[in-house]
Structures are given as structure tokens and as C-alpha cells.
Amino acid sequence: MGENKKVILSGSTVTGDLTLGNYIGAINNWKKLQEDYNCHYFIADLHALTVQQDPKALRERCFSFFAQYLALGLDPEENTIFVQSHLHEHAELAWILTCLTPMGNLNRMTQFKDKSAQTKNINAGLFTYPVLMAADILLYQADLVPVGEDQRQHMELCRDLVIWWENRYGEGSLKMPEAYIGKAGARIMSLQDPTKKMSKSDENEKNFVSIIDSPKKIQKKIKSAQTDSDTVVTYDPENKAGLANLLTIYSVLSDKSVDEICKDYEGKMYGHLKVDLADLVVETLKPVQEKYDDLMKNKDHLEDLMAKGADKARVRAQDTLKKVYETTGLIFRR
Ligand code: TRP
């Protein structure tokens, strides 16, 4: 099953919680993606170690993230969902690729420059972060990798690595991946700064609704969402970006068109719309939160699902690692 489909691979670091933007992206895309592609999703817990973590909190966050994906409806039967550190192949391939990566290329990574400027004690893992990411991708012979703008340079390094590899060892063991630009769906923007995307790693909590925020928190965040001083509810993303964002969310969650919604609020204030939208978001996320709570109550079951995902992922990972060992002159263990 899924053998002839192209492979999509996507990793997620465990900072922040998934947002309403992720929810909307998920309901719009996941079903279709899982029909068309052989989808691999993983929790990048090894990447999380590049910054200092409290061990207990990290473990809890990994469980939570895994549960959040499942609660959003990612189906572990139809997709391969796993935890990065459960496959030692990631670290092994990362080491081999590290030995192929020129220092100079890593020195040029803007994310490293940004992050290391903000951190006092910089570790080598932060520096080689992009190589581990390349290993994640190449291990599964991924065709397509959905990444945001901030990960483009890392994607380029991954593609460079395939070229360096082929220059040294010849073609055949690693597949050249491409960045996957999904169809432009509804773009959900930050609640306080509607010019930028809603992001789970935003340092200002008021900018996003997390899928596991309490109803009270959701209501507060939506009511305080930035709008303009006009009073008429119209869809005008140029001049009324904040309101347009709320209307987009409303439209996606209610299945009503933006025009219909504007009509419904004729002669009413923005406040009315915000109150109703907040209720709608709370109602929408209710089943997600119930599922999440159930999953989090049973860690044993979660660990079983993680193990099943890892078993599925291991088939491809082993296949690649074997080729890599043979190509580089290492003896592949029996
Ligand atoms: N670096 C990615 C991020 O911060 C997460 C990630 C790790 C990833 N490995 C990956 C994404 C492999 C895609 C493919 O978002």
C-alpha cells in the first residue's frame, strides 16, 4: 500500500502548541494528502535538544504533540506518524552526512546566526541542526517536503548534500527532494499582527489560538484580536486585515461564504462578530480537545501508537541506511 505514491515527509519541532491555523490546514489538506501521497510525519525531538530542555517537560511535550496530531485527525493507519528519536537511523545518517558537509556552508545558515546570537551557550548541535534535518528527509527518500519560508535554506543544504554525495559516491543511494508548496488554502494570520502568519512558535501568546486553549482563553484572545476603528463589517484584506482574518476563520469554520457572514452582521458591531466567532471556535475545538484529553490520559496507548509508527517508518529508513553503509564502505550489521 502506498508503494507507488510519492513520499511526503514533514517534521515538527516541539515548541508551542498546534494552532487554529494548523487545525484549518489539517482539515483542508490531510485527507487529500493521505490519498495522493505516502505521508510521513514525525516529532523532531532530537532537534529539540539543540536548545536546553527540562527533561520532564520535554517528555510531556512529545506526548502532547503526538496526541495533538492525532486529535486533529491525522490517521495513524493511513499515514506514518512517529517520533524521530525512536529510529536510531536518523542520528546515524546525520553523522555520515556531517562528515560530508563543509563547515563554511553551515556557517552561512541564517537560522544558526539568528539563534546563536540569542543564546549564551551555543552547542555544536545547533550548528549541525540542518544536517540532522537533511538526514530526516533523505532517510525516507522523500520526494516532497512541506516547509515554511524559514526552512528554505535548510532545504537547499539538503539538496546540496545530495549533490556532494553523488560527487563523491555516485548516484543511486539518495533521492533529491523538493520543497512542497501546498495549494494556497485559507491563510490564517496572527490575531494581533494580521500581516504575519499565525505561528505556534510566536513569542506573544495573544497572536494565536492553540487547539488546546481553554474556552475562556479562546474567548479572550478572539475578543482582543486587533481590528480597525471602522464599524461596518466588510471584507477588505488590504485596509481591514484584522477583520478580514476573523472573517476568513469564521467562513472556514462555518462553511458560510464571507459575503453571507458580512450580510448577517449588517448594522451590527465588530464585537458581535467576535463573540459569535469565539463561540464557534470553542465549539469547533471541543471534540478535538476531548480526543486530546482522552489520548493524554493513556500514555501507554500513546507509546503503543508511537511504536507502531516507528515500525512502519523503519522499513524505509533501514533500506536507505543499508545502501548508505554499503556505499560509504561501512559494514552493514546483520
Ligand atoms: N526544522 C523544522 C522546523 O523547525 C523541523 C524539521 C526537522 C523538519 N526535520 C525536518 C521539517 C525534516 C521537514 C523535514 O520547522
pLDDT at position 15 over 90: no
Ligand 1 atom at minimum distance from 133 CA? 9
- 151-181 per-position pLDDT tens digit: 999 999 999 999 999 999 999 899 999 999 7
Question: Does an H or E element contain 281, and which?
Answer: helix 270-297
pLDDT at position 314 over 60: yes
Q: CA 73 → CA 25, 241, 248, 255, distances in Å?
A: 11, 30, 22, 19
pLDDT category at 29 given cuts 50, 70, 90 is: confident
102 CA to middle of ligand 1, Å? 21
120: which DSSP letter?
S
Task: Pick from 50, 138, 151, 199 the residue to mutate for probing ligand 1's pocket: most ligand atoms within 8 Å of its CB.
Answer: 151
pLDDT score recorded for residue 302? 98
pLDDT score recorded for residue 184? 63
Percentages helix, strand, coil for the chain, rounded to the nearest 5? 60, 10, 35
CA distance 98 to 238: 46
Let me know how long the chain is: 334
Beta-carbon neighbour count of residue 180 at 10 Å? 18
pLDDT category at 120 given cuts 50, 70, 90 is: confident
pLDDT score recorded for residue 2? 52
Annotation says 197 is catalytic: yes
pLDDT score recorded for residue 183? 67
User: Would you say 45 and 88 are in contact if contact means Cβ atoms under 8 Å apart?
Assistant: no
- 81-110 per-position pLDDT tens digit: 999 999 999 999 999 999 999 999 999 999
Say which residue the cell 546540496 belongs to.
160
287 CA to middle of ligand 1, Å? 28
Per annotation, catalytic residue among 5, 6, 175, 197: 197
204 CA to middle of ligand 1, Å? 22
Annotation says 221 is catalytic: no
DSSP per residue over 53-74, as a string? --HHHHHHHHHHHHHHHHHTT-
Instruction: Name 10's bridge partners.
Output: 41
12 CA to middle of ligand 1, Å? 6
- Protein residue with its CA nearest to atom 4 in ligand 1: 13
The overall average pLDDT reported for the chain is 94
Establish how many alpha carbons lie within 13 A of residue 143's alpha carbon, considering only the half-sphere containing its beta carbon: 10
- 204-252 per-position pLDDT tens digit: 999 999 999 999 999 999 999 999 999 899 999 999 999 999 999 999 9
CA-closest candidate to residue 44, choices 2, 19, 9, 8? 9
pTM of the predicted structure, to 2 decimals: 0.92
Ligand 1 first shell, C-beta below 6 A = 9-11, 13, 44, 47, 133, 136-137, 145, 147, 151
Annotation says 6 is catalytic: no
User: Would you say 138 and 158 are in contact if contact means Cβ atoms under 8 Å apart?
Assistant: yes
